[in-house]
Structure formats: structure tokens, C-alpha cells
């Protein structure tokens, strides 16, 4: 039996096993109600409402304190001898590497193809709201983290849900939410943060190298590609969070700049179309049809198929951010706000503008299909990548090759970051031992090879549902723990104010200790 036939049989068997589960879970997780004449999943509303609530509760911290966040990333308020493994910058790039990826390339294309140009406005709005949610969860990630004797950090929703809710007198609820959060994130790690990434990057590589005639279109070529990615990922994961941080701190800025420059080139070649593009975005966002289409395109199709581009509220990012070197948890919460800003407000917007301005044939064809009632034909990620690639090809015929390189880098960085996320969840559930960690890394690497061979579309759909379930469990805890985050924010704002006034860190720590002692006496 050939490798192709084996892969096909396994694909059909696994999809057959999980299809009923995926269908039923999808019905529950994405339960929808009619809004503006279309079906709107309540779980998406759950995330949007959380972002709006935290924005109001913290007084639009994502606007008022964004300048402070950038200063922290640059090292202005560096704290000597702070516990942790990586710098603010490395923690940020590690988390960004898990979010910047195929969602920015394929998910955005699908969103504006189905929802129209107005979907761009709603994507930006969701990104801004997500900044507040990310601030809350990442502050908690640092506050309740655990640091081992070897200096390695463990953090994430598993710990702040269990420990934080126990402090509030709700230990049973905290334990249940922590286990459910870890289990759902772990499931997505294997099939969304891993299999999906390698599968779709191979699809793009095959596309630009000749489809059926490509070496990578053969099972042997796919196995070679999978083994190559698996080996590279394994080498990074062996080094732990320090290694992930070192790789992503170099890789993420480079690939983001590369992609943004390419977008700017396409926009520059079509500079006269910019006013009309913004006109389409705003008119489409606020017209009755545009509101429905924008919400469906940006929130449902775009974010769902991209597994939530910025992952705000999911609980994954706090795992990376908790490893930061800091004595004050809210410093990293402020830094974490930059993540949705880069991912959604900047990169997703650049992709959308490029597609709208270029007006490539595949984008126009997709819009015609949607207009004629065939939106289902535009929902696949491979179609999204082709729409984006076609937009670049309109102005830069050579760019699809560069886009392929970017897709592979995006996929690789996402895989290594989710590999680290998954290991933290795995060791929380199955024990933090050397044997447990090795078992996880071998399993994770094996899935990479399978991802190059199999489509496993049902499992990817199932992992999407599971990821949204993680948001349900995580955000319940965030509501309870928000007052704790507010206290941490006050501490950090006092700290940065004193540093700006010229006080040294030693003077500030002495003053804080005196204030604490005075409060105890009172």
C-alpha cells in the first residue's frame, strides 16, 4: 500500500470518528441568534462584551497607558534583579508569534470577501477592545505564576484561575475552570496551533512551486517538509521559554516588517485608490447591510477561521507573558496590550487595505459569489491565502514567492509558541516531570509530520470549537479577578510616575515597603 493511500485511509477514518463530535460541539459552542437578518454566535458576543466591559472598567487603559506600554518594551523602566526568564520585549514577541500568522493573511481575506470592506472597521474595533482583555489576563498571568528552583517560570490561566479564585473563597470553581482551560488549550495546541499551521504553509509552498508538478505535492515531499519543520521546532522547544524568546525576538520583528513593507508597496503603486478604499470601509461599516456583513466577516468568519487572530480572552498569551522579568505584574499587562494592536489594528488592517486597493481578480470573484448567495464557497483558508496572494501579484508579480517565505515563517513561529503553551498545559495536567515533558515534545513533533500528510479537516473544525470554549472558561475567571488587576495597575502607575520624577528603583522599593508597614500598623 502506498503512502498516499495510507494517508487517505487514515484521513477518512479519523474524520469519520470525530465528525459527529465536531458537529455537535460546533452547534453548542457556536449557538447563534438572529441579528440584522443573519445568525450571530453568542460566543463571539461573549468575547466582544468582555472587551467592552474591561475597557470601561479600566478607563480605556489601552488608550491612556499605551505610551507607558511602549516605554516598558523599550526597557525604560527596567527592574534590577527581577525574577523571570525573558525581557518585556522577548515576552511580547513570543506572544505575538503565536497570534501573527495565517489569520492575518487568510482570515482577513475571508472576512472582507464575505463581509465586504466594512469588515475592516469591525476588525479594528475588536482589536482595540481585545487590548483591554489581554491586559487583564496577562497581568494575572504574572501575578500568580510559579518560579521553580531552576528559575523556569510556569504561568497561565491554569494557575491564576485556581489560585486567584481560591483567594476569593471559590477554590472549587477555580480548580474546575483551571483544568477545563488547560485541557481545551492543549487540544487546540495539537490541531490548531500545530497541524493546521504546517498543513496550510505546505499548501502555499506547493501552490507557488507548481501544484501537481511540485516535489512538495508528493507524499515524499510532504514528509520531508514535515520532518524539516519538526526538527527545527524540537530544537527550539528543548531550550524552553528562553529559547523561544530568543528565536521570536529576532524572527517576529523581521517577518512583520517584511510583510508590512510589501503591503505598503502595493498601496503605493495604487496610491490614488486610497481615499476610495477608506470610503468603502466606513460606508460599508455603517450601512445597514455593512453592519451585518462587517460583523459576520470580521468577527465570525475572519476570527473563527483564524482561531481568533489576537487570541484576547482565550488564555493562551498569559503563558508566554508570565515568563517576563518583572516584580510588578501589571507592567507586563500593559505590554501585552500592544499585542492585539500589532496583530489586528496594524497587520490585519494592512492586509485588508492591500486586498481592497489592489482589487485582484480572486477577491472580486469572491465578492460576486457572496453577492449571488454562494458565500460558503469562500470560507476555506486556502481560498483566503490565494485571495491575498493574488492581491500582491496584481502589483508585485514576484511577491507570491516572498509571501510563501513569510507564510512558512509565520507558521513556524506560531508552532513553536503554541508548542510552549501546550507543554505548560500538559505538565499542569499530567505532572511537571522530565518524562512527561519528553512525552509531550515527541507527540507534538509527530503531529507536525502528520500535518504535512493529512488534511484532518474535522479535527481542525473541532479544535476551533474547543478554543472558543477556552475563552468561556477563562473570561468567567477574569470577571471575578478584575478588582485584583485594578490594584496592580495602581501600583505600576505609581512606580512609573516616581521613576519619571527621577527616583531610583531602590528609593521606590523602600518607600513602598514603608507604606506597606504603615498600613499594617493602622
Q: How far is CA 370 from CA 114, 283, 376, in A?
A: 6, 18, 8
Q: What's the per-residue H, E or C state across 1-61?
A: CCHHHHHHHHHHHHHHHHHHHHHHHHHHHCCEEEECCEEEEHHHHHHHHHHHHHHHHCCCH
Which element (helix H / strand E) includes 458? helix 457-500
Q: What is the mean pLDDT of the chain?
A: 80
Quick: pLDDT tens for 334-354: 999 998 888 878 888 888 888
What pLDDT, on the 0 to 100 scale, is given for residue 488? 93
* Distance in angstroms (rounded) separating the CA atoms of residues 206 and 39: 36
Length reported for the chain: 522
Instruction: Among 64-73, 158-167, 383-392, 503-512, name the most confident range.
Output: 158-167
Quick: pLDDT tens for 473-502: 999 999 999 999 999 999 889 888 888 888
Quick: pLDDT tens for 266-300: 888 888 888 888 888 877 777 655 454 545 544 55
What pLDDT, on the 0 to 100 scale, is given for residue 486? 95
- For 386, the grid coordinates are 490565494
Give the pTM: 0.85
- At residue 263 the predicted structure's pLDDT band, cuts being 50, 70 and 90, is confident
What pLDDT, on the 0 to 100 scale, is given for residue 188? 87
What pLDDT, on the 0 to 100 scale, is given for residue 420? 86
What percent of the chain has pLDDT above 70? 81
Instruction: Between 30 and 458, name the one with better pLDDT.
Output: 30
Instruction: Among 119-123, 177-181, 427-431, 499-503, name the most confident range.
Output: 177-181
Q: At residue 406, does pLDDT exceed 90? A: no
What pLDDT, on the 0 to 100 scale, is given for residue 145? 93
Name residues whose C-beta falls within 8 Å of residue 298's C-beta, 6 or more positions apart in sequence. Answer: 111, 115, 119, 120, 122, 123, 126
Quick: pLDDT tens for 20-46: 888 888 888 888 887 665 677 888 888
Interior/surface letters 420-434, b for 16+ CB within 10 angstroms, e for the rest: bbbbbbbbbeeeeee
Maximum pairwise Cα distance, the chain: 80
What pLDDT, on the 0 to 100 scale, is given for residue 377? 57
- For 502, the grid coordinates are 527621577
Q: Kindly state the average pLDDT of the residues 4-16.
A: 69
Instruction: Between 332 and 394, name the one with better pLDDT.
Output: 332
Q: At residue 307, does pLDDT exceed 50? A: no
3-state SS class at 344: helix
Instruction: Among 13-17, 203-207, 341-345, 424-428, name the most confident range.
Output: 424-428
* Distance in angstroms (rounded) separating the CA atoms of residues 177 and 251: 34
DSSP assignment letter at 86:
B
All structural domains of the chain: 3-41+61-521 (1.20.1740.10)
What pLDDT, on the 0 to 100 scale, is given for residue 298? 45
3-state SS class at 92: helix
Q: At residue 123, does pLDDT exceed 60? A: yes
What pLDDT, on the 0 to 100 scale, is given for residue 334? 93
- For 237, the grid coordinates are 522547544
* Distance in angstroms (rounded) separating the CA atoms of residues 309 and 124: 12
What pLDDT, on the 0 to 100 scale, is given for residue 102? 64
What percent of the chain has pLDDT above 90? 20
Amino acid at each position: 500500500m502506498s503512502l498516499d493511500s495510507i494517508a487517505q485511509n487514515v484521513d477518512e477514518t479519523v474524520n469519520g470518528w470525530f465528525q459527529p463530535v465536531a458537529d455537535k460541539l460546533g452547534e453548542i459552542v457556536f449557538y447563534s441568534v438572529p441579528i440584522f437578518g443573519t445568525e450571530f454566535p453568542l460566543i463571539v458576543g461573549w468575547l466582544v462584551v468582555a472587551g467592552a466591559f474591561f475597557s470601561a472598567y479600566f478607563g480605556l487603559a489601552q488608550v491612556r497607558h499605551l505610551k507607558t506600554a511602549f516605554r516598558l518594551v523599550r526597557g525604560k523602566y527596567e527592574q534590577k534583579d527581577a525574577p523571570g526568564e525573558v525581557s518585556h520585549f522577548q515576552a511580547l514577541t513570543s506572544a505575538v508569534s503565536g497570534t501573527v500568522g495565517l489569520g492575518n493573511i487568510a482570515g482577513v481575506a475571508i472576512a472582507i470577501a464575505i463581509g465586504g470592506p466594512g469588515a475592516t472597521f469591525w476588525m479594528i474595533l475588536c482589536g482595540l477592545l481585545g487590548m483591554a482583555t489581554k491586559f487583564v489576563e496577562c497581568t494575572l498571568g504574572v501575578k500568580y505564576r510559579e518560579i521553580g528552583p531552576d528559575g523556569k517560570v510556569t504561568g497561565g490561566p491554569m494557575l491564576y484561575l485556581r489560585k486567584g479564585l481560591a483567594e476569593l473563597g471559590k477554590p472549587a470553581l477555580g480548580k474546575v475552570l483551571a483544568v477545563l482551560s488547560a485541557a481545551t488549550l492543549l487540544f487546540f495546541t495539537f490541531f490548531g496551533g500545530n497541524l493546521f499551521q504546517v498543513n496550510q504553509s505546505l499548501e502555499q509552498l506547493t501552490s507557488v512551486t507548481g501544484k501537481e508538478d511540485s516535489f512538495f505535492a508528493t507524499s515524499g515531499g510532504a514528509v520531508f517538509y514535515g520532518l524539516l519543520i519538526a526538527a527545527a521546532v524540537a530544537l527550539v522547544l528543548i531550550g524552553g521559554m528562553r529559547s523561544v524568546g530568543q528565536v521570536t525576538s529576532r524572527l517576529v520583528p523581521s517577518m512583520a516588517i517584511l510583510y508590512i513593507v510589501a503591503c505598503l508597496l502595493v498601496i503605493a503603486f495604487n496610491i490614488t485608490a486610497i481615499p476610495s478604499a477608506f470610503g468603502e470601509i466606513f460606508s460599508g461599516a455603517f450601512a445597514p447591510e455593512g453592519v451585518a456583513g462587517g460583523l459576520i466577516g470580521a468577527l465570525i468568519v475572519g476570527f473563527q477561521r483564524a482561531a481568533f487572530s489576537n487570541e484576547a480572552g482565550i488564555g493562551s498569551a498569559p503563558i508566554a507573558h508570565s515568563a517576563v522579568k518583572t516584580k510588578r505584574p501589571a507592567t507586563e499587562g500593559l505590554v501585552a496590550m500592544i499585542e492585539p494592536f500589532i496583530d489586528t489594528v496594524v497587520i490585519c488592517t494592512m492586509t485588508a487595505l492591500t486586498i481592497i486597493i489592489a482589487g485582484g481578480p480572486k477577491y472580486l470573484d469572491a465578492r460576486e459569489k457572496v453577492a449571488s448567495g454562494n458565500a460558503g464557497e469562500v470560507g476555506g483558508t486556502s481560498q483566503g491565502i490565494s485571495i491575498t496572494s493574488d492581491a500582491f501579484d496584481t502589483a508585485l508579480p514576484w511577491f507570491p514567492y516572498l509571501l510563501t517565505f513569510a507564510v512558512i515563517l509565520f507558521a513556524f513561529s506560531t508552532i513553536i509558541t503554541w508548542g510552549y503553551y501546550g507543554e505548560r498545559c500538559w505538565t499542569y495536567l499530567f505532572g511537571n516531570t522530565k518524562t512527561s515533558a519528553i512525552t509531550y515534545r515527541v507527540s507534538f513533533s509527530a503531529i507536525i509530520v502528520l500535518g504535512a500528510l493529512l488534511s484532518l479537516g474535522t479535527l481542525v473544525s473541532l479544535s476551533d470549537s474547543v478554543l472558543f470554549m477556552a475563552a468561556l472558561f477563562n473570561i468567567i475567571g477574569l470577571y471575578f479577578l478584575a478588582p485584583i488587576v485594578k490594584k496592580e495597575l495602581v501600583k505600576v502607575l505609581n512606580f512609573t510616575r516616581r521613576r519619571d520624577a527621577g527616583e531610583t528603583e531602590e528609593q521606590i522599593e523602600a518607600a513602598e515597603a514603608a507604606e506597606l508597614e504603615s498600613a499594617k500598623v493602622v
